[in-house]
Amino acid sequence: MVGRQTGISPELTVLLGHDGVSFGRYMEWALYSEQGYYQKRVSLGKQGDFFTAAQFSLFGATLAHYAWDAWLSFGEPQNFQVVELGPGQGELAASLLARLRQLLPQTVNLSYVLVEPSLRLRQLQGQRLQGEKDGVRISWQSPDASLDTVVLANEVLDALPVERVRKTAGGWQWAWVTWNRSQLSLQWRPAPAKLSVAATHWLPIPVDTEAEWCWGYEKLFRSSVCYGRRIHSLWMDYGITREELASGLRPQGTVRGFSHHQLVDPLSTPGEADITADVFWDGAADAARQVGYTTRSLVLQGTFLRNAGLLGVALAESIKKSGLQVTGLSHELAGQVRQLVLPGGMGERFKVLECWRD
């Protein structure tokens, strides 16, 4: 794969040096450095680069019911905390809080903590949540580890840097990014031992095909498992399983770039486009268990949301808007339900990993 640009920033030139860097190191730079996509220009939704479920108000409102159920199962504590990882532009937080404040008794002290590495997004979240502070303590500080807590992460795992690997008859290779005659290009080199061991154990792909390996899952689960006293957590994302890898479903792996809702080469505009990869669910669930979570089987997002009360939430929303004579969902809400639960939308492609620690 070869990039199309004819010049790169001085910072990227320094990073690449003479010999280049692994794809994972490049992806980390392209997303999270000062010049990176999430620091500089991230934009979600219709006018942005990609949609997420967070842009649908019914998603957050339904997750409020999940949080409320967790609060009940914790024994209705007086102090309760919701921690959201990677809250993007704050839409999920806004719609969840609007609903959760109605569900919880007014006397409950509710804290909502946003864990966000991007300064630009923290500012957008602050603006978005200004009107939602009523009775809720909103902060970007460390979560309070003494509280019963719900942790939510929508499309965060897919945004972690990954190494790209290729299985060959002679062993594992990994992708390396170099600057070559005015272009970024991808080379395949023998993979280091640690990566080869992980790939051999976890990635049963056919020979001459590619996949990804993410070292970041464990770090993220390890920090999140310390965010509360008892924790119920949801990790929602698109992803791939070991069985799907073995079937050769994605011979060229799953890394892709997005800009203005179009697929782009991840090397073509470093720092200007989003780069993402499917979550490797078996690896993520194993990382969660390694750090002390108990995990439930993966569930389709559509099934999860229906079980969590999505249709009731949609109907209640319609009644709120149109009164009791309502005969069905408004066009807008019906569209949201379709997007969130149907296989053609996010209903089957997205899955939910539920983890908890008692």
Ligand X SMILES: C[S@@+](CC[C@H](N)C(=O)[O-])C[C@H]1O[C@@H](n2cnc3c(N)ncnc32)[C@H](O)[C@@H]1O
- Name which of 160 and 211 has its Cβ closer to ligand X: 160
Query: Residue 139 pairs with which residues in a beta bridge?
Result: 113
Report the nearest approach of ligand X to the CB of residue 164 (Å).
Answer: 18
CB of 221 to ligand X, least distance (A): 11
Instruction: Indicate the residue among 211 and 279 with the shorter CB distance to ligand X.
Output: 279
Site membership for ligand X, residue 8 (CB under 6 A)? no
77 forms part of the interface with ligand X (CB under 6 A) = no
Backbone Cα Rg of the chain: 21
Would you say 241 and 205 are in contact if contact means Cβ atoms under 8 Å apart? no
By CB under 6 A, is residue 220 in contact with ligand X? yes
**Residue carrying the six token digits 């450095």:** 33
Q: Binder to ligand X among 155, 163, 278, 317 (CB under 6 A)?
A: 155
How many residues sit close enough to ligand X to count as binding (CB under 6 A)?
Answer: 19
Q: Is 295 in the site for ligand X (CB under 6 A)?
A: no
Cα–chain center distance at 294:
20
x/- site string to ligand X, residues 90 to 129, per CB under 6 A? -------------------------xxxx--x--------
Scanning residues 19 to 38, which ones bind ligand X (CB under 6 A)?
38
Residue 174 burial class via C-beta count within 10 angstroms: exposed 0-12, middle 13-18, buried 19 and up: buried
Task: Report the residue number, 191 or 305, with the smaller CB distance to ligand X.
Answer: 305
Report the phi/psi class of residue 333: left, alpha or beta, with left for phi > 0 and alpha for psi in -120 to 50.
alpha
> For ligand X, which is the closer residue by CB, 199 or 279?
279
Q: Spell out the alpha helix ranges (H) of the chain.
A: 10-16, 23-32, 37-40, 57-73, 91-103, 119-129, 193-202, 216-224, 242-246, 281-290, 301-307, 310-322, 331-341
163 binds ligand X (CB under 6 A): no
Task: Summarize as ranges the residues that interact with ligand X (CB under 6 A).
Answer: 38, 44, 52, 54, 85-88, 115-118, 121, 154-156, 159-160, 220
